[in-house]
Amino acid sequence: MARKKPVKTILSALPDKSSVDTESSKWSRRRFVRNSTLLTFATALGMPIVNGTKLPYGLHPVALESGNVPFSIEGKHSDLVLLNDRPLNAETPAHLLNDDITPNDVLFVRNNGLPPTDVDPETWTLTIEGESIEKPIELSLNDLKTRFTPYTYQLTLECGGNGRSEFDPPAKGNQWSTGAVGCPLFTGVRLKDVLSYAGIKTDAVYIGYYGKDTHISGDVNKTPISRGVPISKAMEEESLIAWSMNGEDLPMQNGYPLRLVFGGWPASTSGKWLSKIVVRNQIHDGAKMESPSYRVPCKPVAPGTKVPDEEMCIIESMPVKSLITYPKTGGILHTKKSLTVRGHAWAGDLEVDKVEVSIDFGATWRACHLKSPANRLAWQHWSVDLSFDKEGYYEVWAKATDSKGSSQPMVLPGWNPKGYLNNACHRIALKVKS
Amino acid sequence: MSWIREIKGLKKRVRFLQLSAVLLLVCVCLFSMNTPKTPKKVLRPITEQYHFAEDPNDLFEIREGIEVQSGLVAKGDWLIVKQTCTGCHSSKLITQNRANAEGWAQMIDWMQETQGLWDLGANEAKVVSYLATYYAPEETGRRRALVVDDWYDIE
């Protein structure tokens, strides 16, 4: 009985024509289909959907999809932490990032929209155009693979909002802890080779990308995200148009079949499901280029300050940071046993000069063994042997310093309204027993 | 005799047209049954609009004060929040965020300005009040204590 009532109610509660402005005809077949669909939704939910008739076409209420119900992402490790299922956002626990090269199944997912559902690599094309391109071109995947020299680099991708969950007052958005980072091997062609092929005008300032993902509202006129980088970053040797990750096709959620990769910059610049690149004679003005997205106050502000849009500056290179990937936090160790602590460190466009750890809450620091990066913009591996003489509770803190002398802060770095760039040192908890 | 054949053909066509007309009429009737006769106000408090159980909470699985499907705190106007917000995005976007009333209201404004969210009418105050009550910011300072869910032995 309880199921039938709302079904009846929603039929009688259908709005008049004026509230369904997208439909012109009373005899709309679409309305008929929509009403039937809403009935199905209402039945499944056990309640009607308020304003359901205003739901964009093709949109399924998330309430039906998942809540605390177990959720898995195809091709991804089941221990990834799901932050949001529409759009999909999932981060990697630190201990799953212990590999030198991040495997495909553990690289984090940060979607702004919904990935395309009908990808055909045979017909996929990439268009190069924009006011600062000499001759616009369209290339197939095969063109890219055969006409240009492919390169493989290990590149660090980190979401600009990685670490957001720690800010106080809290910042809005997906509450990433430490896991929106990874460093896989990407194979593709150099962006500069492709842009040069199409001819770059001397007034070029910025590049912008467009992908085949769609806005979560279902509105086809809305672009979920279209960001980019200054032409100088675009022309770097490691800036790739990539089709492969660790020797395999890109995972679906990481941009299959084609994406940009700009190591060391907010990963939002590395457009996924790439279909078009525009070369601009101004700073690109696509979706989420505007303030306050991916921007921080041009001048430092006190926590909680309201910052006008025009006083927010675009994030470029990411700051120096490190992760402890072994052991997993919460380990219990026996005294007299030594422990090798391992992790990675990276520094945006720069290199990491040193990594130190502390087991006494920052009072003393011990230098770690640090390897050189596999290539520019790849993260670096560090390790250190520790032993604990006394029983008790310990925290291991890791602190990296970049080639210009900047270190990770032990407390949160400068507060910013959107909660970007938290590079406070990573900490894990350990207990030592005799 | 070709004109006789033409007349026969014409008859067939007329019959076909008649059949089509009847079918069309049936379709029109079916659609009109589904069309509202009187305009209804869309935005009304949920409690007035729908009555589908003595206690709506009976329809949902609530464990330790949390509605299992959405993960929302099952107190106050949580049902309005579930219905209003999870139409377009995951409830996880609510449960992982914290803000005061002003902050939540700003998020609603942003969704209305840029993401196509409709006017919530009288429900807006209820939604904001619920969110500011159950998803309020906690002061965590410059660094909070580490929380360990599962302690384990390092081999």
* Domain range list for chain A: 81-314, 321-433
Contact list, B59 vs chain A (CB under 8 Å): 2, 46-47
What is the value of pTM for the model shown? 0.79
> How many angstroms separate the CA atoms of A40 and A26, rounded?
21
The answer to whether B135 faces chain A, any CB pair under 8 Å, is no
Which tokens sit at B3? 């004109």
Lowest mean pLDDT segment, chosen from A13-17, A40-44, A296-300: A13-17
CB contact under 8 A, A217 and B36: no
CB contact under 8 A, B88 and A6: no
Sorted by sequence, the CB contacts under 8 Å of residue A415 that are 6+ apart come out as A167, A168, A169, A301, A302, A303, A304, A305
CB contact under 8 A, A63 and B139: no
**pLDDT tens-digit profile of A119-132?**
999 999 999 999 99
Instruction: Tell which A residues from 64 to 123 touch B, by Cβ distance under 8 Å.
Output: 65-69, 82-86
Contact list, B66 vs chain A (CB under 8 Å): 68
Sign of CA dihedral A30, A33, A36, A41: negative
Nearest Cα to Cα of residue B51 among A1, A52, A39: A1
**pLDDT tens-digit profile of A84-99?**
988 999 999 999 999 9
CB contact under 8 A, A56 and B68: no
Instruction: With a cut of 80, say whether residue A44 has pLDDT above it.
Output: no
CATH class for the domain made up of A81-314: alpha beta
As a whole number, mean pLDDT of residues A330-344 equals 91
Q: Which fold has domain A321-433?
A: Immunoglobulin-like (2.60.40)
Amino acid in position A342: R
Task: Name the closest residue on chain B to residue A306, using Cα atoms.
Answer: B103
pLDDT band at A285 (very low <50, low <70, confident <90, very high): very high
Instruction: Answer yes or no: same fold for A81-314 and A321-433.
Output: no
Instruction: Tell which A residues from 17 to 56 touch B, by Cβ distance under 8 Å.
Output: 17-19, 26-27, 29, 31-32, 35, 46-56
The answer to whether A302 faces chain B, any CB pair under 8 Å, is no
As a whole number, mean pLDDT of residues A2-15 equals 32
Q: What is the DSSP letter of A27?
A: T
pLDDT in tens, chain B (155 residues): 556 666 666 667 767 667 777 676 665 555 555 444 443 333 333 443 344 445 655 678 899 999 998 999 999 999 999 999 988 888 999 999 999 999 999 999 988 988 888 999 999 999 999 999 999 998 888 999 999 999 999 98
Q: Which residue has the higher pLDDT, B149 or A15?
A: B149
According to the model, what pLDDT value does residue A219 have? 86
Q: Which residue has the higher pLDDT, A350 or A47?
A: A350
> How many angstroms separate the CA atoms of A413 and A420, rounded?
10
